[in-house]
Chain A
Amino acid sequence: GAGVSQSPRYKVAKRGQDVALRCDPISGHVSLFWYQQALGQGPEFLTYFQNEAQLDKSGLPSDRFFAERPEGSVSTLKIQRTQQEDSAVYLCASSLGDVQKLFFGSGTQLSVL
């Protein structure tokens, strides 16, 4: 595709629900990143893939957060038993390499009620 695509655009969840957020990176991009952006803050790193390998998951805030990229293209970020503090915009980005120019999607805005 022309850019990084994320779905859904908005997600409202009741506390305790599980959610799954999808990211379609730019075709051919090896690296894929997930970031969490709280209101009024800069993006905070969650996890990073190079192809299908998850090389860094140090930013995941708890074991309720899980990400996968099984075929090295589409990635899914899953949040189990959502809490109010999980409310944020979740941004996905891809690049040709891990220190190359990043291209971001529009994000998924998650609201946990």
Chain B
Amino acid sequence: KQEVTQIPAALSVPEGENLVLNCSFTDSAIYNLQWFRQDPGKGLTSLLLIQSSQREQTSGRLNASLDKSSGRSTLYIAASQPGDSATYLCAVAPATGNTPLVFGKGTRLSVIA
């Protein structure tokens, strides 16, 4: 059974810092991996989707990498801003295709002005 772990569970940084969020998964047979952002009381917003054949994806100040063989992904946030404060969730789609995303518990990020 696929398990997704995110470290750290919570992170507090001063504004302007670069930071890395980590995600690991137990079964390397994945179709894709997505990073989501969740604001309090809100649903999830997809930030980046990396196909299993890709190594990384970039969007603005965000960069996500994928190392399928080692079961790891990182989300890099450059020049963090208070508006980046949210919970970041990692989710993997198993390679079988018809099975649903498996989520980690998330990393709660606070960026202090």
Interface SS of B by simple majority = strand
Among the listed B41, B44, B93, which residue makes an inter-chain contact with A99, where contact means beta carbons less than 8 Å apart?
B93
Q: Which of the segments B13-21, B66-74, B77-85, B100-108 contacts the partner chain?
A: B100-108
Stretch at the interface among A12-20, A35-43, A67-75, A76-84: A35-43
Across chains A and B, the number of contacting residue pairs, with CB separation under 8 Å, is 56
Contact B46 A103 (CB under 8 A): yes
Across the two chains, which residue of chain A brings its CB closest to B46?
Answer: A101
B49 within 8 A of A: yes
Are B97 and A99 in contact, with the CB atoms below 8 A?
yes
Total A residues in contact with B, Cβ cutoff 8 Å = 26
List chain B residues, Cβ under 8 A from A45: 100-102
Chain B residue numbers with a CB within 8 Å of A4 are 43
**Is B89 in contact with chain A by the CB < 8 A criterion?**
yes
12 residue pairs from A and B, CB less than 8 Å apart: A42-B89, A42-B103, A42-B105, A91-B43, A91-B44, A99-B97, A101-B34, A101-B46, A102-B34, A105-B43, A107-B42, A109-B41
Q: Within residues 44 to 100 of chain B, which ones have a CB less than 8 A from any CB in chain A?
A: 44-46, 49, 89, 91, 93, 97-100
CB proximity to B under 8 Å, residues A1-25 = 4, 6
A45 and B4 CA atoms in complex are apart in Å by 13
Shortest distance from the beta carbon of A34 to any chain B beta carbon, whole Å: 10
